[in-house]
Structure 1
Amino acid sequence: MGKLRAALHYGADAVYLGLTGFSLRAKAGNFTLDTLRDAITLVHEANKRAYVTINIFPHNTDIAPIEGHITALNDLHPDAVIVSDIGVFDMIKTFAPEIPIHVSTQANITNYRSARMWERLGAKRLVLSRELTIDEIRRIRDAVSIELECFVHGSICLSYSGRCYLSSFLANRGANKGLCTNSCRWSYQLVEEKRPGESMPVYEDNRGAYILSPRDLCMVEHLDKLAGAGVDSFKIEGRTKGINYVSGVTKIYRDAIDALAAAPLNSAWLKELEMFSNRGFTTGMYFGRHPDSDYSYDETHAPATYAIAGVVKGVTGSTATVLLKGNLAVGDEVAFLSTAAHNGSYIINELRDAEGQISGIAHNEDIVFMEVPEGVKKNDIIRRRV
């Protein structure tokens, strides 16, 4: 729920979320049916949209539970359901016919004939495969009249999205059931058949080799090209990321989208995105074949330069009430991520508790009072340089 609130606060038009049993992010800290109801209500109160994911590839034993889940969604009124399996698509048409259907990127829509077929079946939106070029997207746009969505930021799967058995093979956890171990991100060494036990490095640094790990997708500098190709919705991947990532990345893409018709490219966007944990950036296959240089051969990720330190619960004058999400001390360098204004970093000079006592350090889940720059408001996050 914290990530949901952060996404809405920083400008998301819609969120996608789901239950553990039917989502391809089974370990993402998902919702129960009761909290899903609360989440959808919160989204609708903010005049935004909530899309529920039922995008696993189900087996026979999954059908009855999914049928019950779909029936329950009738009372929750999500704005759409995201599916990848045609049987689940048919079940929604049968048991929840009023709920619009979005076809997941897991369905791997890579051509206009496939897009036309889903349109004829009654899909409202297609979340296109990550393996398409911008020219291919334009060709699909010419062939259909329904909404098109594509990913613009976040992790990229080594395989065609979701069609991977590496996690199942190495860890007995199926990616297509929401249990991917990200085995492609692990460090690997090469062993020659006739020399067992003698491992050899492959593009190795002091942490190992990461020959299967693509860099993260980042299209913030090219949103105009995607919009020009007819894309209706830009999607950010990151359900297993923290609030700091959700807040910052959402805000940057909100700013970039809002500037599409009014201003030239802002070079600061890419620099700001580099503040959050990443594996380096790539434009994926949007401009053609994924370059060999866009794999993280020599490092797993670039660590975040700022970590979340707290959430603003209210502002009176120049004083903010902050719920800490980590330790914070006098002398720390912090920055507020504000939707109202861009505020640079500054040094904390004092922290006060509820009794007005001044402390040199405060701890996770403490409530503190501190002076803040103009423009900071409720639900903004405070970040500490790490």
Structure 2
Amino acid sequence: MRTIQNKPEVLAPAGTLEKLKVAIDYGADAVYIGGDAYGLRTRAGNFSFDQMREGVAYAHARHAKVYVAANIVAHEGDTAGAGRFFQTLREIGIDAVIVSDPALIEIAILEAPGLPVHLSTQASAANYETLNFWQSEGLERVVLAREVGIEEIKEMRRHTDVQIEAFIHGAMCIGYSGRCVLSNHMSMRDANRGGCAQNCRWKYDLFEMPTAGQREEETDAKTPFTMSAVDMAMIEHIPDLIEAGVNSFKIEGRMKSIHYVSTVANVYRQAVDSYCADPEHYQLDPAWVDELWKVAQREMSTGFYYGTPTADDELFGKRRKRPSYAFVGEVMAYDPAKKLATIRQRNNFGVGDQIEFYGPHFTHHTETLTQLWDEDYDILLRAPDAMMICKVPVTQPVKPGDMLRRANQLV
């Protein structure tokens, strides 16, 4: 029986220390985070050096890795202090830094030798000559441009042995490899320096103006459009990615919730492990696809992997499908004698709701909530207060770190 020896890495986003721990607990081999400088997600919960130390200790104790994104397009003055920043990352034990700007790459290599450098997708690497160039400069991994197709990846692998990382799930920028100037133009916030206002997600209307300054015809105001792509999901094509030679499967979403991070990491962990264990008998589990629809997201497509996206891969008109569950809490403790779970609330839920518990290794079970107490055992009908501690009876064992969802009506 053939097995895959070089199993690809499942790489999850971690916008906070909590998300880092959740991602690893739910199956990620590695996480990528941001620091207080040089990254493209200034509004994410970026890490202080002390938080990085705690995150690295947590990850390394569980045989996982931590990468830091420092992928801005640097303007004059932006590189000040970068050498010391990279040196500190090396001292903390960060496993690699993800960089796009050549000046920052050079600073990392020269001033923090021994710190592995990965090329960011912002650099738009889309051919094997480019991959070989960056490898010759000392980089060990390249995150491919998001516009690269499966056949192109196969060609790259035939001509290079540099590690290849590729996005396989999450929100996709409408700009070429994320290099967009809409935010700069419309909001005075530089997307390439961490300030993206996500203008492509705004609602727009179309007007016909054959004569300058004269508005002739207006589209139906009930059908506004965006310049926004749907989300990527390659769950149905794991064999193609592995056989093409992708070494790291990257999930987008450093600003997403622990519900998203835990669910998506859990799904791709199962798919990768299943294929690598027995490629000949691998089958897509429909439950994996259903699971991805339990988290908040847009419609899903395969991006550029199998051809140029069409209008179906952009957001026009009404949503074609909506998430089927709402995240409502996490298990803090379980009393097996009383069959009682202690829950930290994350969203309103209460008696009569159908609640799904899920955990690492793709464990699931469903309960109809019959009783609810606060932490002092006062009876409740609903748990309305954010982060409140409450207790619920369960018919099956649960574990600290398991999550709770409330079933919604699927639209």
Query: Into which bin does the TM-score normalised by the smaller protein fall?
Result: over 0.9
**Alignment correspondent of 1:68:** 84
Partner of 1:361: 382
Match of 1:233 among 230, 237, 248: 248
The Cα offsets for residues 236-267 of structure 1, whole Å up to 9 and x where unpaired, read as 00111111111111111111111113331112
Aligned to 2:301: 282
Match of 1:270 in 2: 289
Partner of 1:326: 347
Q: Give the counterpart letter for 1:364 in structure 2.
A: A
CA contact 2:267–2:362 (8 Å) conserved in 1: no
Partner of 2:3: none
Alignment CA distance shift 1:340-1:21 (3 Å): closer
Question: 270, 273, 287: which one pairs with 1:258?
Answer: 273
Compute the displacement of 1:227 (Å): 0.4
Aligned pair 1:22/2:44, yes or no? Answer: no
Q: Normalized against structure 1, the TM-score is what?
A: 0.94
Counterparts of 2:389 and 2:107 in 1: how far apart (Å)? 48
Question: Is residue 200 from structure 1 mapped to residue 222 from structure 2 by the alignment?
Answer: no
How far off is 1:233 after superposition? 0.9
The offset of 1:310, in angstroms, is 1.2
Question: Is the CA contact 1:278–1:302 (under 8 Å) kept in the aligned structure 2?
Answer: no
Q: Does the 8 Å contact 1:341/1:376 carry over to 2?
A: no
Residue 126 of structure 1: how far off its partner (Å): 1.0
d(CA) in 2 for partners of 1:198, 1:32? 54
Match for residue 215 of structure 1?
Answer: 230
- Say whether the 8 Å CA contact 1:154–1:236 is kept in structure 2: yes
Matched residues in 1 for 2:262 and 2:311: separation? 31
Select the residue among 166, 169, 179 that pairs with 1:163. Answer: 179
Identity, % of aligned positions: 36
Counterpart check, 1:385 vs 2:401: no
Distance 1:342 1:45, change over 3 A: closer
Q: Say whether the 8 Å CA contact 2:353–2:368 is kept in structure 1.
A: yes
The farther-off stretch of 78-87 and 323-332 is 323-332
Partner of residue 194, structure 2: 178
Instruction: Tell me, yes or no, if the aligned pair for 1:20 and 1:27 is still in contact at 8 Å.
Output: no
Give the Å deviation of 1:169: 0.6
1:319 CA drift (Å): 2.1
Question: Match of 1:73, SS?
Answer: helix
Cα-to-partner distance string for 1:106-146 (whole Å, 9 max, x where unaligned): 11100011000011111111111111110100111111112
Partner Cα distance (1:361, 1:335) in 2: 17
Once the two structures are TM-superposed, the CA of residue 352 in structure 1 deviates from its matched residue by 2.5
Instruction: Determine the C-alpha separation between the residues in 2 that align with 1:48 and 1:361.
Output: 38
Are 2:351 and 2:381, in contact at CA under 8 Å, matched by a contact in 1?
Answer: yes
Matches of residues 142-161 of structure 1 in structure 2 within 5 Å? Answer: 142-161=158-177
Q: Write the letter of the residue equivalent to 2:199.
A: S
2:6 aligned partner: none
Q: Of 301, 313, 327, which residue of structure 2 is paired with 1:308?
A: 327
Higher relative contact order (CA 8 A, sep 6+): 2
Q: How far did 1:275 drift? A: 2.0
Hey, what does 1:6 align to over in structure 2? Answer: 22
Aligned residues: CA RMSD: 1.9
* Partners of 1:95 and 1:153 in 2: CA distance: 34
CA distance in 2, matches of 1:169, 1:353: 50
Structure 1 CA distance, aligned partners of 2:135 and 2:267?
Answer: 32
Residue aligned with 1:358, SS: coil
* Cα distance between partner residues in 1 of 2:319 and 2:108: 40
Deviations 1:198-255 (A, max 9, x none): 6622xx6736222x11111110000110100011110100111111111111111111
The offset of 1:24, in angstroms, is 1.1
Mapped partners of 2:104, 2:60: distance in 1: 25
Is the CA contact (8 Å cut-off) linking 2:131 and 2:162 kept in structure 1?
Answer: no
CA contact (8 A) 1:320 1:369 kept: yes
Secondary structure of residue in 1 paired with 2:154 = helix
Corresponding residue to 2:356 among 315, 331, 335: 335
* 1:29 shift after superposition: 1.9
Distance between the aligned counterparts of 2:318 and 2:115, measured in 1? 43
Structure 1 unaligned spans of 5+: none
Which letter maps to 1:200? Answer: E
The residue type equivalent to 2:264 in the other structure is V
* Cα distance change, pair 199–126 in 1 and its aligned pair in 2 (3 A): same
Runs of 4+ in 1 over 4 A off after TM superposition: 195-199, 300-303
CA distance in 1, matches of 2:32, 2:361: 25
Q: SS at the partner of 1:43?
A: helix
Q: Judge conservation of contact 1:167–1:183 (CA < 8 Å) in 2.
A: yes
1:301 Cα offset (Å): 8.0
Q: Is the 8 A contact 2:205 2:221 kept in 1?
A: no
Equivalent position SS for 1:370? strand
Bigger shift: residues 105-114 or 69-78 = 69-78
